[in-house]
Amino acid sequence: MLKFIGTGSAFNTKLGNTSAYIKENGCLLLIDCGELTFDRILKMNLLDNVNEVHITVTHTHPDHIGSLGSFIFYCYYVKKIKPTFHAADTDFIRLLQYMGVTEEHCKINNCVCSYVINGLDISFSYIMNNHVKELVSFGILLVKNPNELHRDVIYYSGDCCDIDNSIIDALKTGQVHYLYQDTCKADYDGNVHLSLRRLAELIPEELRDRVWCIHLDEGFKRGEAWYLGFNIAEVE
């Protein structure tokens, strides 16, 4: 399962920008790095005992990439770690160039298929999703222990206004074990995030204990989500 640095939406800053990670065996995988994330990483001492860093982002809204450059430079100059940035789209690589990040500071992996991080014994791949028309956005499918019979499969939605039918089918058949879904209280036509009401329509009641709500807006009702049978991601 994923751990979290923050669980809030862009404007719900008290919960921090939604950002997840896996840390094992001196290796860190960071998913998204919004404006508030780098500061939280330092306060959590998340880089202690880390000698290998991997970073990926779901899309390029500021609450998902706002402190990305600072984090990369800190890894390189202060921690003496050259991180690897995994890019689902060439626009993400161009973004690093605009920040002044070069391949001197960061290894860049343009992911065209699944990628394996041996230190974490995890593979991941990207699924394009629907968020806003102005930019591309991806969900991430992570497989823990990919070469073992008893593997854990995690779907991390990033920001999106729906859930792909293939993901729902995989949840129903047990091919996806944990689903982390962008969920908000806001509920209106044209919403670029998924409302809690719509999430309840999409996920059968018997599967909701395997779904965690993330990217929570200020109006989000935790009690309502719990009553419906969903989990809520928390910062440890």
Listed as ranges, residues in the chain with pLDDT below 50 are none
Q: Which of 26, 75, 31 is nearest to 52 (CA)?
A: 26
User: Which residues of the chain form beta strands (DSSP E)?
Assistant: 3-6, 19-24, 27-31, 52-56, 84-87, 107-110, 115-117, 122-128, 138-144, 152-156, 178-182, 211-214, 231-232
What pLDDT is stored for residue 112 in this prediction? Answer: 63
Could you give all domains of the chain from N- to C-terminal order, each with its CATH number?
A: 3-232 (3.60.15.10)
Instruction: List pLDDT tens digits, range 17-66.
Output: 999 999 999 999 999 999 999 999 999 999 999 999 999 999 999 999 99
CB 63 within 8 A of CB 34: yes
Q: DSSP 3-state assignment of 42?
A: helix
What pLDDT is stored for residue 236 in this prediction? Answer: 84
Output the CA angle 217-124-75, nearest 5 degrees: 75
pTM reported for the whole predicted model? 0.96
- Extract the tokens encoding 121: 């014994």
Q: Is the dihedral of CA 49, 53, 59, 60 positive or negative?
A: positive
What pLDDT is stored for residue 113 in this prediction? Answer: 66
Q: CA 54 → CA 7, 34, 150, 220, distances in Å? A: 20, 16, 24, 31
- Extract the tokens encoding 181: 């879904």
Residue with tokens 């991430």: 140
Strands 52-56 and 27-31, bridge-based pairing: parallel
